[in-house]
Amino acid sequence: MIRTKCIILPPSAGDGLRISVMSRHTLNDGVTPDPRIWPSSYDLWLKDVAPPDAIVGKYYRGEITFDQYYNLYQAHLRKDHIAVIVQTIARYALHKRITFLCIDWMPVMCHRTQLAYECLYYEPTLHIQNF
């Protein structure tokens, strides 16, 4: 099972392996550590499966639509070396619960949900639960 959740929410017994899928744990300036995120907030930090900064920047500056952002992120996830990581996570999630963590409160239009569904692409029997 794969869950998705805001990294600020406290860990719960049902989270399993908590994986941060954020490119950084800083405030918007990109330098100052986000005081809400501690190393104890997650078990593993996989920056490689986070959206590249260039894609995120274009989206937040309004240079691309959400659909374009989605497509660019999906292309990133399907690059050979990234796809291997996603496939490994998906296989792991067949037997153990994992939770993808990101700073966004709502899973709608969040890359952690897209990543979960990318895992489903490789392992169609996975169950996904968004929080």
Q: What are the residue boundaries of the structural domains of the chain, listed by start?
A: 2-8+18-130
> CB–CB of 10/44 below 8 Å?
no
Rounded Cα–Cα distance for residues 103 and 22 (Å): 8
pLDDT digits (tens, 9 = 90+) for 17-35: 999 999 999 998 889 999 9
> CB–CB of 51/76 below 8 Å?
yes
The neighbouring-strand residues paired with 101 are: 5, 20
Residue 107 has pLDDT above 90, yes or no: no
Looking at residue 102, its pLDDT comes to 96
Residue among 96, 106, 101, 97 at smallest CA distance from 41: 101
Structure tokens at 71: 């497509």
Rounded Cα–Cα distance for residues 83 and 121 (Å): 11
> CB–CB of 97/37 below 8 Å?
no
- Cβ within 8 Å of residue 106, ≥6 positions away: none
Parallel, antiparallel, or unpaired: how do β-strands 44-45 and 98-102 relate? unpaired
Q: What is the pTM of this model?
A: 0.93
Looking at residue 62, its pLDDT comes to 96
pLDDT digits (tens, 9 = 90+) for 58-106: 998 999 999 999 999 999 999 999 999 999 999 999 999 999 999 998 8
